[in-house]
Structure formats: C-alpha cells, structure tokens
Structure 1
C-alpha cells in the first residue's frame, strides 16, 4: 500500500539571483540582527573595567598620537583647520570604516559553526556588524561634535550646508565596507592568508586616504589618482562641510558613489555565489 506523498510547507533553496540582496527575507529576520548587534556590543566590553568608555578613549589617544607625530614632528598641513579637530574628524570616520571592513571580511570563517547548524539569510551577519559599528561611530561622533562646538564658538571653523550630506557619507562608507568585506569574506573561505593580508592592507590604505592630510597637500599627479579612491570624496566632503577646509568638489563624491556601487554589486555577486558551497571549504 503506497504511503501518501508528503507536502512540504516551506522549502529552503539556493536558486535566488546572484545579484539579489534578499532584503525582504532579511527584514523577516530583523530580530536576529538585533540579537547579533546586542551580542557584539556586550562581548566587546565583557570583562573590561572601563566598558563603553573605551569608545571615547580610543579616538582621543589616537588623535593625540597623530597630533604629535604628524602635526608637530612631520608638520603636515591641515588647510588652516585646528589640528586636533582635523585629526579627530579623520580618526572618527576611519575607525568606522576599518571596523566594518575587518568585521565583515570574516563573515563566513568566523560564523561557520552557526551557519552549519541553522538557516538564516547570511547577509544578516555582515549587516549586524555594520549596524553595531554604527553605534560605536555614534558615540565617537558625539565626541567630535563636542570638540567642534568648542572651536566653532571661537570662530576657528566655518561649517556650510554640506553638513546635511553627513548621513549620505556614513551610508556610503558602510556600503563600501560591506561590498569589499563581502568580497574578502568569500575569498577567505579558500584562501585564509587573505585575512592577514587584509589587516596589513587596511593599515596601508589609511595612508592612501586623506585621514591625516588634506588632498591639497598632494602633488598634482597624486591628487588626480586620489580622486579614484572611494574614501577621498567622503573624507574631503566631511572635512569641508564641518571644518570649512579642503579641496572638495561634488565630482569627487560622484566618483566615490559610482565606484562604491560597482564594488557593492561585485561583492553581492561573489557573496551569494560562495554562500551556497562555502561549508564544503571552510
């Protein structure tokens, strides 16, 4: 006697488009994103004495080091902006980008145990990293605002309407880190050496980005090359908006946006392709 054929109520498959971010499915798992963000926040300061105060200590100490090394010893220009505020602006933006990139790049390798036990959209993990780092950025940005108000009240900085573009700049940084991070997270499933190379490369990349210097200080040929660094337009726009200095033009931001979107598309393609089979190689 033949048994009745079972009908599945839900089928999990990997037949989605390689360019699909599956945002609707990700939204269904928004509670899981919240749990991951909460986990990252708590684990970062578990068994520490100062806890979240490190959000303030890190940029303050880094800014002081940059102020002494690059401001006093190397005597790099700041286009007339107060050196402390100039370096604090660069450090605040860079900390967010580098943290997102390094965290996202370990998505598959660092979460292989979870991925092998339960299904959820894999994009949830890198998105939670971007969001949890956004919370840290918010705290450090508050520190920048406090310092900015002090110098603004003294008339040493001059802001403009480009301040309104700040949310866009943050989103572009997040998308850039997400796109490049997804590329490296996919590649490190087979080539784990890339994770160590990325850490070194991020450190070098900082010196190719106007974090500690303005683009106006670069020779003409390097200045033209720097325009194709996606972070150049973002950092120069931020400093121009808040400090009123820099060699910023809207074209720089357009170029940055275009390159970032291309990298995000490439990262999505590679990420979706690798997530189907990565458990066989991790």
Structure 2
C-alpha cells in the first residue's frame, strides 16, 4: 500500500459526461518533495493531533498536567542529591537548583520529542492504513505538542530563575536570552530530522525503538546537563562532548540565563549545520519509506 498525495487535477480531467474530478490521489514521485503545502492545508488536523496527545497522555491520571511541573522538579532534586551532594560535580559556582533545572528543561524537550517522533509509524499504523492525510502532519504535531510542554516547564524555570536573580548575585544573565526561540527551533528541527530517520527504520527493525530509548538516556551524560563544559579539561573528551550537537544548545541556554558556561558562535554554528544535514537526510528517508511502510508494519 503506497502513501499518496492529493494533487489538484486540471478541469479537463473528466470521468464521464456527468462527473468531473476535482482532485486526483497519486503517489509522490519526487524524493525531496515534503508536501509542505498539503501539511499547511491539514493544519486543523495537526491541532487535533496535538490535543489528542495531551488527552491521551494525562487521561485517567490523578495529578494530570501537574506532572509537567513534577517531572522536572523531581529530576532536578535527584541531580542535586546524586551529582551535587554525593558526586560533588561542579556547577560553575551557580546555585544547583537553577543550574540543573536549566539543563533539564532544555534536554527534556529534545529527548521527549525525539523518542515520540521515532515511533510515529508504528504507533499510528492503524490510522495510516485507514484514511489519507499527509504523513508529515503526525511528527510535526509531536514537535508542536512538546513545544507547549516546554513552555510550561520553561515557566517553572523562569520562576526559579527570577528568584535567584533577585536573591543571588552569582547569576549574570545577558542578551543571549534573545536566542531562546532560535534554540527551541533548532532543537525541534533536530529532533524532527532524527525522529524521521528512526521512525522510518523502525518499520523494519523494531529493536531500534528500544535502542533509541536507551541511547537517549546515555546521550544525556554526553551532554552538559549535569555538569558544565568547563569541567572537561581533557582536550580529547572535550572534543567528544562538543561533537554532540545538543552540547552547544544546552551550554548556550545556560550561558544566556546564568552567565556561566561556554558559548562560541562556532559551536552553535556546528549544531545548526548538523540540524540542516540531518533534516535533509531524514526528509529523503521519510519520503522513501512512507510510500510502502504499511505493507511492512
């Protein structure tokens, strides 16, 4: 079964004397054609998917959306105890609460979006097999729904951050705060590109979904979430950490709001280049697989 696009047909296409076709459903032929026009036409459907994600996630739960606040707070508390008090890792002289919460807020959006996008074909195979709609609307809706969650958790971070700005002189926020929307867009596109690659591959290799979940957890330790980049003094290890495109995103976010950390335009430029390349590769693979994935799944 092939994934298809809806293409406007010329008015000259007539089925018979009494009936005229206004649309023709045909398979997509161009490899790099994402069908963004169709995605825009189905924007109402994307919003329905976003609403569905919220309802399905917190339906029949006692605390409901309060988990948006509980999850980062509990994670931050765990980091403070394990890495701050026991392991005594450096936080660049910043209060541990705001230091760890900054990393958790940024990393959670990327990790949750990537994990959810990577299973989009398998998790929605029943819907894909019954009705036509642009397949890209599903991963796009995941990116948007997680943006809403990010803003809720970001509001929590801002509340804690403002408290320490007023009461602690160690925080030195700067104009790079203006890069927050760009960092959010960068994370969204990066997770979308990687997610499209893994979602395409998991249609044949189901083990990849479990491998990705485990890999994302390990990747966090290769990202300056629980430690600052300045604490990595060995040039080899520092280079390995910087090879992770999320490293510069977390460091830039933390540098903007806390005034400590490592910020270089070259590091951020590498993350942008990585995102463009991975989004390009993800587009090719996604377009190739979506034509016949229902036969595989």
Query: Of residues 79, 99, 115 in structure 2, which corresponds to 1:102?
Result: 115
**1:153, 1:20 → 2: CA distance?**
51
Deviation, structure 1 residue 226: 2.0
Q: Does 1:142 align with 2:155?
A: yes
Q: Deviations over 1:157-184 (max 9, x none)?
A: 1100100000000110011110000000
Judging changes above 3 Å, is the alpha-carbon distance between structure 1 residues 7 and 217 closer, same or farther for their aligned structure 2 residues? same
Q: Is the 8 Å Cα contact of residues 227 and 255 (structure 1) preserved in structure 2?
A: no
**1:137, 1:125 → 2: CA distance?**
18
Match of 2:240 in 1: 225
Q: Deviations over 1:24-62 (max 9, x none)?
A: 110100100010000111111111111111100110010
| Equivalent residue runs for 1:39-54 within 5 Å | 39-54=52-67
Match of 1:88 in 2: 101
Query: In the comparison of the two structures, how many residue pairs are matched?
Result: 280
Deviation, structure 1 residue 7: 5.2
Deviation, structure 1 residue 233: 1.1
Deviation, structure 1 residue 156: 2.8
**1:208, 1:252 → 2: CA distance?**
15
Q: Deviations over 1:235-269 (max 9, x none)?
A: 11000000000021111000010011100100011
Query: Of residues 103, 122, 138 in structure 2, which corresponds to 1:125?
Result: 138
Structure 2: segments with no counterpart, 5+ residues? 1-14
**1:238, 1:194 → 2: CA distance?**
30
Deviation, structure 1 residue 227: 2.0
Match of 1:33 in 2: 46
Structure 1: segments with no counterpart, 5+ residues? none
Judging changes above 3 Å, is the alpha-carbon distance between structure 1 residues 43 and 15 closer, same or farther for their aligned structure 2 residues? closer
Query: Once superposed, what is the RMSD of the aligned Cα atoms?
Result: 1.3
**2:237, 2:34 → 1: CA distance?**
36
Match of 1:175 in 2: 189
Residue aligned with 1:12, SS: strand
**2:27, 2:85 → 1: CA distance?**
56
Residue aligned with 2:24, SS: coil
Deviation, structure 1 residue 4: 4.2
Q: Does 1:185 align with 2:199?
A: yes
**1:279, 1:225 → 2: CA distance?**
38
Residue aligned with 2:171, SS: coil
**2:107, 2:219 → 1: CA distance?**
10
Residue aligned with 1:97, SS: helix
**1:85, 1:54 → 2: CA distance?**
19
Q: Does 1:206 align with 2:220?
A: yes
Deviation, structure 1 residue 14: 2.1
